[in-house]
Amino acid sequence: MLGPVSIPRLFTEDALLEGAEIAATPAQAHHLGAVLRRGAGDALRLFNARDGEWEATIAALRKDRGVFLVGTMVRPPAPEPELVLLPAALKRDAMDWLVEKATELGATRIMPVLTARTVIPQVNTERLAAIARGAAEQCERLTAPVLAPARALHAVLDAWDDTPLLLATERRDAPALPTVARGVRALLVGPEGGFTPAELDDALRRPFVTPCTLGPRILRAETAALAGLAALQAVNGDWSTGDWL
């Protein structure tokens, strides 16, 4: 006996209004038709942060083209607490996984940084943004995090707007993250091998940067980023309100 068929959720930048027709992206059309085996008349949900989540149906679908017909709203837009993650750029598989899980944890902006010990020369922002959108569709968020282009660490810090920023460090004399996290919504995490002494000195001379530790164990870079993000979410995010229960 077949179980219930889940209704696909798709993120769209287009305005969602009852009766509107929304063009599918080539990737959406391919996924619906070739992977999910859906066709004209099948139900789906469309969402974005501005308009909320809406019922919709597939009006037409062919290879890499499709049209969605918007129905009625099922969930209104709702604000999300800002949570910014600045991870040192990692190798492709680790970075893909990090972006997916950071999306599930509620990151609103992901800003990859290039450090002295970064092992890749560049980051495919477009691919990571697609991964983030897919993760948002799966975890029932109404938003997808903004993926910023990767930039050198010093350039990111030079352009920072002086809002508080936590820097995860292995220094044992730094305070534990939960003790300094109240009201802070941004976290900087280094690469495998950590920041260089020169990078730490440059970051910590800036008044908006506060060092912190993530416990007594040495964590992989992607683990540290997600552990720190989860801690920020618990202290300052929607985990702390009880609204998600």
Residues 40 and 142 grouped into a single domain: no
Check: CB of residue 226 under 8 Å from CB of residue 101: yes
Q: Is residue 2 part of a domain?
A: no
d(CA 217, CA 51): 43
Contacts of 110 (CB under 8 A, 6+ apart): 84, 85, 86, 87, 99, 102, 128, 132, 145, 146, 147, 148
8-state DSSP, 206: S
pLDDT at residue 58 above 60? yes
CATH classification at residue 118: 3.40.1280.10
2 pLDDT band (50/70/90 cuts)? very low
Residues 100 and 164 grouped into a single domain: yes
Q: Is residue 54 part of a domain?
A: yes
Q: Is residue 46 part of a domain?
A: yes
pLDDT at residue 85 above 80? yes
Element (H, E) at 73: strand 65-75
Residues 67 and 89 grouped into a single domain: no
pLDDT at 241: 62
Residues 195 and 227 grouped into a single domain: yes
For the chain, the domain total comes to 2
pLDDT at 220: 93
Mean pLDDT of the chain: 92
Segments forming the whole domain that contains residue 206:
84-236
Determine the straight-line distance between the first and last CA of the chain, rounded to whole angstroms. 32
CATH classification at residue 29: 2.40.240.20
Residues 111 and 227 grouped into a single domain: yes
Residues 48 and 163 grouped into a single domain: no
More confident residue, 100 or 173: 100
pLDDT at residue 25 above 60? yes
Residues 50 and 160 grouped into a single domain: no
pLDDT at 161: 93
Domain end marker among 18, 49, 75: 75
Q: Is residue 1 part of a domain?
A: no
Residues 127 and 232 grouped into a single domain: yes
